[in-house]
Amino acid sequence: MIQPGSWLGILGGGQLGRMFTQAAQSMGYRVAVLDPDPSSPGGRISDKHLVTEYDNLRGLKELARVSSAVTTEFENVPADSLRTLSDLLPVSPQADAVEVAQDRIREKTFLSKNGFRVAPYAVFNDLNDVANLSKSLVFPGLLKVSRFGYDGKGQLLIKDLTELISGFKNLGRVPCVFEEFLSLTAEVSVIVARDERGDTAVFPVSENRHRNGILDITIAPARIPLSILSEAKQEALALGDALRYKGILCVEFFVLDGGALVINEIAPRPHNSGHYTIDACSVSQFEQQVRVTSGLPLINPRQHSSAVMVNLLGDSWDNGEPDWNSILKDDRIRLHLYGKDEARPGRKMGHLTIVDPDLDQALNLSRQIKTLLGKQ
Ligand code: AMP
């Protein structure tokens, strides 16, 4: 076990790295962040910020020298960097699991092989594949780049073969998956913490609503039947076992008409849909990440209040700062800003969590807040 007071390292200093750093520091750890951006949200508040690329050997060695264990906040960190680090100190999650999560083709192959349901899909590596598979495709569908897509980026809605061919070209002819467009009743996610011993702790299932491909609000607990909630939790835990996972794992599900669950994607890290845990649960997803990283015991999260998390996008800064005075009058609202200098459209600047014992009241307030936030 790595005692509080020791140093923990993290690859990535975005908002997830920042909230990990805050959780670790409040437990007495010191945190080294490796992120190439000198003003990264996590780097700014860290005890040591290593400003290097993620594959810079000197930077990685320095991170290993100062830290007692290392984790990551994003899936696009080069798996080889995690491998290099794991020769030197404990690393979670492990490179093999991150490699699966960072590539949609690998991810879907792994999930299908291990008996998890995914949306029907086809893999395209080049235009020949598109031509060869065209007869078996069902339209409409979504064409998604296999790597480096996020928040709906690198993704196109396709209604026929002509659009598929032009879409594949527009996405740069990179490896893609083409997924059947499913009719969804809800989107939910489950966050699991799993440690080296295989001990697990699972957070309440949350319900996620997206706008323009970006998470807009999270409602917790999810308003879906109990049987589906428990099936989602069981699947997420089974997936953690299948990956022999160590760390925080988020599993995003589609709930289809009729109640069947399909895994959309997985994230090998804390997730935007788990931010509500900071204010509404006995332990947050970030504290749980600190616990896995340092070998402390996991605790079973208990949700002490219903919650709605509202993402704050840069669009709300179009006419200057949002009206915090009006928004923060209500004592059910907790504000989290990530310390980003520049507000750009679609950029995640922070989030608000509304906590209320009555979920409907929290939802009502979230609607009022969204009006105050203006277009976003
Ligand atoms: P993703 O980046 O894959 O999580 O996709 C972003 C959002 O697009 C999802 O949260 C869904 O709202 C929607 N979406 C993605 N794939 C599908 C699909 N196969 N069928 C219906 N909606 C989808």
Domain boundaries, given as residue ranges, for the chain: 7-91, 120-180, 184-372
As a whole number of angstroms, the distance between CA 73 and CA 93 comes to 10
Distance from the alpha carbon of residue 46 to the mean position of ligand 1, in angstroms: 34
- Provide φ and ψ at 100, rounded to 5°: -70, -45
Question: CATH second-level architecture of 7-91?
Answer: 3-Layer(aba) Sandwich (3.40)
Q: Could you tell me if 178 and 121 are in contact, meaning their C-beta atoms sit under 8 angstroms apart?
A: yes
Q: Is 280 in the pocket of ligand 1 (CB under 6 A)?
A: no
Closest of 347, 338, 344, 350 to residue 17, by C-alpha: 338
Q: Please give the CATH superfamily to which domain 184-372 belongs.
A: ATP-grasp fold, B domain (3.30.470.20)
In this structure, the number of other CB atoms found within 10 A of the CB of residue 161 comes to: 14
Residue located nearest, by CA, to atom 13 of ligand 1: 213
pLDDT of residue 135: 85
pLDDT of residue 186: 97
pLDDT of residue 376: 64
- Provide φ and ψ at 37, rounded to 5°: -85, 115
Q: What is the DSSP letter of 260?
A: -
Q: Could you tell me if 263 and 252 are in contact, meaning their C-beta atoms sit under 8 angstroms apart?
A: yes
Per-residue pLDDT of the chain (376 residues; tens, 9 = 90+): 999 999 999 999 999 999 999 999 999 999 999 999 999 999 999 999 999 999 999 999 999 999 999 999 988 999 999 999 999 999 999 999 999 999 999 999 999 999 999 999 999 999 999 888 888 899 999 999 999 887 778 999 999 999 999 999 999 999 999 999 999 999 999 999 999 999 999 999 999 999 998 999 999 999 999 999 999 999 999 999 999 999 999 999 999 999 999 999 999 999 999 999 999 999 999 999 999 999 999 999 999 999 999 999 999 999 999 999 999 999 999 999 999 999 999 999 999 999 999 999 999 999 999 999 986 6
User: Ligand 1 pocket: which of 75, 139, 142, 171 to mutate (most atoms <8 Å of CB)?
Assistant: 142
Q: Could you tell me if 208 and 215 are in contact, meaning their C-beta atoms sit under 8 angstroms apart?
A: yes
Same CATH topology for 120-180 and 184-372? no
Task: Describe the chain by its helix, strand, coil percentages, rounded to 5.
Answer: 35, 30, 35
Residue located nearest, by CA, to atom 8 of ligand 1: 213
Q: Is 356 in the pocket of ligand 1 (CB under 6 A)?
A: no
Question: CATH second-level architecture of 120-180?
Answer: 2-Layer Sandwich (3.30)
Q: Is 182 in the pocket of ligand 1 (CB under 6 A)?
A: yes
Residue located nearest, by CA, to atom 5 of ligand 1: 152
Q: Is 200 in the pocket of ligand 1 (CB under 6 A)?
A: no
pTM: 0.97
As a whole number of angstroms, the distance between CA 113 and CA 102 comes to 17
Distance from the alpha carbon of residue 266 to the mean position of ligand 1, in angstroms: 12
Q: Is 213 in the pocket of ligand 1 (CB under 6 A)?
A: yes
Residue 352: partners with Cβ closer than 8 Å, 6 or more residues away: 309, 310, 312, 327, 333, 334, 335, 336, 369
Distance from the alpha carbon of residue 187 to the mean position of ligand 1, in angstroms: 9
Residue located nearest, by CA, to atom 23 of ligand 1: 181
Q: Is 75 in the pocket of ligand 1 (CB under 6 A)?
A: no
Q: Is 157 in the pocket of ligand 1 (CB under 6 A)?
A: no
